[in-house]
Amino acid sequence: MDFTARSKHAILALMAIALNTDHKPVRLVEIATHTEICISYLERIFAKLKNAGILKSARGPGGGYSLARSPAHITLADIFSAIEAGSVVDTACSSVGLEKPQMWQVIKNSVRHHMELITLQSLIEAASTEGIQTVK
């Protein structure tokens, strides 16, 4: 199983916002430049993250995007559910014939449980050992 490009980009963009050291909203152009993700693509991703209560935005001078919750309270499961509009196993196995629905439910529950244990904060801590830079 692999994450879609959309999920990977959402995680990278959220990390860029979380790594912002001055804790002010980050402009979309700064996030796009830092992550090398197209602005129009980020807008679509951010709309989903905002609807899911992961991001908040501020308009006007000094506006931009910031996390709606602490990075320690945003999980991979939250991000994936917001971006993919479904569960991990539902998305990964949508083309597979489900002859044993109980088996898929066990797998789905297990994968979801593990994704709920991985927070944005834990990804940031792991990234800091790799020298990932903050958004200015």
- Nearest Cα neighbor of 66 from 57, 75, 76 is 57
| Contact (CB, 8 A) for 29 and 89 | no
Per-residue confidence in pLDDT tens, the chain, 136 aa: 567 899 999 999 999 999 887 778 999 999 999 899 999 999 999 999 999 999 999 998 889 999 999 999 999 999 999 998 755 555 555 555 556 678 877 888 888 888 999 999 999 988 877 766 555 5
CA-based radius of gyration for the chain: 16
Cα 68 from chain centroid?
Answer: 12
Record the pTM: 0.81
CA dihedral 113→118→119→122, nearest 10 degrees, is: 160
Neighbouring residues of 35: CB distance < 8 A, sequence distance ≥ 6: 9, 12, 13, 16, 42
Token pair in block for residue 91: 């998305």
Domain positions in the chain: 5-128
* 119 DSSP β-pair partners: 75
Q: Which CATH architecture has domain 5-128?
A: Orthogonal Bundle (1.10)
